[in-house]
């Protein structure tokens, strides 16, 4: 259990590192985080199920201006590990994973500001190092400033996984109504995620696209993957057939290669008339 806790903790640290910097494998997405966590504990299907459920909940949630949001990535890792430690069939384990993953994600909302605030001390020290020309110290400060970001996720992950045996004890005292409630929450979360995502999209302008998706799902029983691929095809056709947007030409500036010279001349004439 100690080795598993260490590996999952390192994976949680890499997820936030990938989110802040290189974005190598999109490890910050709950689906990827949960799937790899399932691979580590030996139950990929469970990790993928927990991660996918939290991914749907996180679709419409993004951080803007440094705002803290639920850390569904760490929630997927912790939820997968503790769900695997519980007993019961797959459906019961998935319910436990969601029931633990969501509170864990909300807990990280309270811890995230600490991880954002502490690197300020590194920044001020880096300013002094930059003025003094200490490039080696500046490099060290640049990389070690990641420690607070990782610590606020590593500590809860390690403690939750290492003491996962407590889950088996608590599980025996969980009432049926709570389990049924978590099952209902797991079914509602994808709808909430899609609804939040729709608030960011121009639905009022392209309402017919929403209608097409509804018909495909409700009346033709097309899977979500099939609807997504259909949407990609529609988007490609829409972008390909859409007429190019005319661009304004600055008087005295040469016309682009794909723009006729007489059109540029007429635009320059209109500008001079104004």
pLDDT exceeds 50 at position 268? no
pLDDT exceeds 80 at position 170? no
The proportion of the chain whose per-residue pLDDT surpasses 70, expressed as a percent, equals 81
DSSP 120-168: HHHHHHHHHHHHHT-HHHHHHHHHHTHHHHHHHHHHHHHHHHHTTHHHH
Q: Between 66 and 244, where is the model more confident?
A: 244
pLDDT exceeds 50 at position 96? yes
Annotate 120-156 with b (16+ C-beta within 10 A) or e (fewer).
eebeebbeebeeeeeeeebeebeeebbebbbebbbeb
Element (H, E) at 91: helix 90-117
Q: Six-digit token pair at 219? A: 């009346």
pTM of the model as a whole: 0.68
In this structure, are residues 112 and 68 in contact, taking their beta carbons and an 8 Å threshold?
yes
Q: Between 80 and 164, where is the model more confident?
A: 80
């Amino acid at each position: 259990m100690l080795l598993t806790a260490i590996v999952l903790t390192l994976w949680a640290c890499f997820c936030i590192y990938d989110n802040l910097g290189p974005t190598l494998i999109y490890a910050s997405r709950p689906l990827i985080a949960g799937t790899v966590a399932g691979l580590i504990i030996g139950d990929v299907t469970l990790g993928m199920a927990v991660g996918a459920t939290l991914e749907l909940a996180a679709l419409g949630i993004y951080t803007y201006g440094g705002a803290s949001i639920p850390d569904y990535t760490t929630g997927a890792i912790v939820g997968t590990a503790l769900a695997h430690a519980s007993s019961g069939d797959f459906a019961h384990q998935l319910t436990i994973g969601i029931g633990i993953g969501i509170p864990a994600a909300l807990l990280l909302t309270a811890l995230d500001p600490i991880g954002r605030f502490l690197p300020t001390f590194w920044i001020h020290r880096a300013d002094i190092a930059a003025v003094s020309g200490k490039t080696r110290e500046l490099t060290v400060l640049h990389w070690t400033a990641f420690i607070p970001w990782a610590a606020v996720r590593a500590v809860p992950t390690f403690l939750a996984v290492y003491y996962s045996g407590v889950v088996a004890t608590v599980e025996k005292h969980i009432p049926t109504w709570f389990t049924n409630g978590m099952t209902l929450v797991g079914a509602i979360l994808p709808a909430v995620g899609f609804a939040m995502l729709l608030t960011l999209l121009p639905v009022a302008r392209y309402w017919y696209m929403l209608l097409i998706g509804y018909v495909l799902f409700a009346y033709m029983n097309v899977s979500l993957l099939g609807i997504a691929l259909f949407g990609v095809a529609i988007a490609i056709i829409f972008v390909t057939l859409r007429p190019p947007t005319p661009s304004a030409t600055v008087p005295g500036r040469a016309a682009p290669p794909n723009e006729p010279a007489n059109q540029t001349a007429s635009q320059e004439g209109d500008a001079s008339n104004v």
